[in-house]
């Protein structure tokens, strides 16, 4: 069990210095959720690469930096050595920068982006600060806020109108985030909270396989590793096709 507890996540670097900042970004998961923004954008009848770029920038700041800094501030799940002051500064910079991009979009693109800016800021704060006793810190809030919402926002900044294609892609991204949650929750429990694993698996051919943390983690993390990379490649390919 010791090997599994050495790192709080499969992408976590050794603690200290710039490595903490990289770990804080949750690179695979940030890329995963940014791919939803791109998938939403390419589903629009009108595709605008510049608007997509700004939307990606806003979500990187809000989720990649702001939300993850707030999450680390609450309980230190990644065990970084970043000070509380640094985490608060990163959260403020990330969320503030994302809102600034959103406001610029409202002024230069469409006032219909206002609900997206407000909803995005609310989701980050409500989920990561566990407001109202954690009522918004649920699997479905995560799925909608980190899956459906990025896809719908990416779609809307390009289309600026309701289209079935955007709604269907947003629904698919929501369900993909549900799947991510079903995989990542037991992974986090194994890596961050489990101190021992005991037991064995008996097969019908008489073989007995010892249950270890590594054996339990392998299929779960294997699926997570493949899925984030596949989604990024899919999003990049579709953006290239529409550009």
Between the CA of residue 24 and those of 30, 76, 77, 161, what are the distances in Å? 10, 10, 10, 35
pLDDT confidence of residue 4: 52
pLDDT confidence of residue 56: 98
User: What's this model's pTM, rounded to 2 decimal places?
Assistant: 0.94
Do 160 and 110 meet the contact criterion of CB atoms below 8 Å apart? yes
CATH number for 7-175+224-242: choose from 3.40.30, 1.10.357, 2.40.10, 3.30.70: 1.10.357
- Give the CA-trace dihedral at 154, 160, 164, 167, to 10 degrees: 40
Task: For residue 36, give the nearest of 238, 241, 242, 240 by alpha carbon.
Answer: 238
pLDDT tens over the chain, length 243 residues:
444 557 899 999 998 999 999 999 999 999 999 999 999 999 999 999 999 999 999 999 999 999 999 999 988 999 999 999 999 999 999 999 999 999 999 999 999 999 999 999 999 999 998 888 888 889 999 999 999 999 999 999 999 999 999 999 999 999 999 999 999 999 999 999 998 899 999 999 999 999 999 999 999 999 999 999 999 999 999 999 999
**Residue extents of the structural domains in the chain:** 7-175+224-242
Instruction: Quote the tokens at residue 28.
Output: 């695979």
d(CA 236, CA 88): 32
Task: For residue 74, give the nearest of 124, 142, 9, 22 by alpha carbon.
Answer: 124
3-state secondary structure of 16: coil
């Amino acid at each position: 069990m010791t090997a599994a507890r050495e790192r709080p996540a499969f992408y976590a670097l050794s603690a200290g210095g710039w490595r903490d900042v990289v770990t804080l970004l949750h690179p695979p998961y940030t890329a995963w959720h940014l791919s939803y923004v791109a998938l939403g954008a390419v589903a629009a009848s009108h595709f605008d690469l510049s608007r997509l770029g700004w939307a990606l920038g806003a979500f990187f700041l809000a989720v990649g930096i702001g939300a993850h800094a707030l999450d680390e501030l609450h309980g230190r799940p990644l065990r970084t050595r970043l000070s509380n002051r640094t985490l608060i500064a990163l959260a403020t910079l990330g969320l503030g920068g994302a809102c600034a991009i959103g406001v610029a979009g409202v002024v230069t693109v469409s006032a219909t982006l206002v609900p997206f800016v407000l909803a995005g800021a609310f989701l980050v704060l409500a989920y990561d600060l566990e407001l109202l006793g954690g009522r918004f810190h649920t699997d479905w809030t995560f799925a909608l806020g980190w899956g459906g919402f990025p896809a719908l926002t990416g779609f809307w900044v390009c289309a600026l109108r309701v289209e079935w294609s955007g709604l269907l892609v947003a629904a698919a991204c929501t369900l993909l985030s549900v799947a991510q949650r079903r995989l990542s929750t037991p992974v986090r429990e194994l890596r961050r909270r489990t101190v021992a694993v005991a037991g064995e698996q008996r097969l019908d051919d008489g073989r007995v396989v010892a249950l270890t943390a590594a054996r339990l983690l392998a299929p779960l993390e294997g699926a997570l590793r493949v899925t984030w990379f596949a989604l990024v490649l899919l999003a990049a390919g579709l953006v290239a096709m529409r550009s």
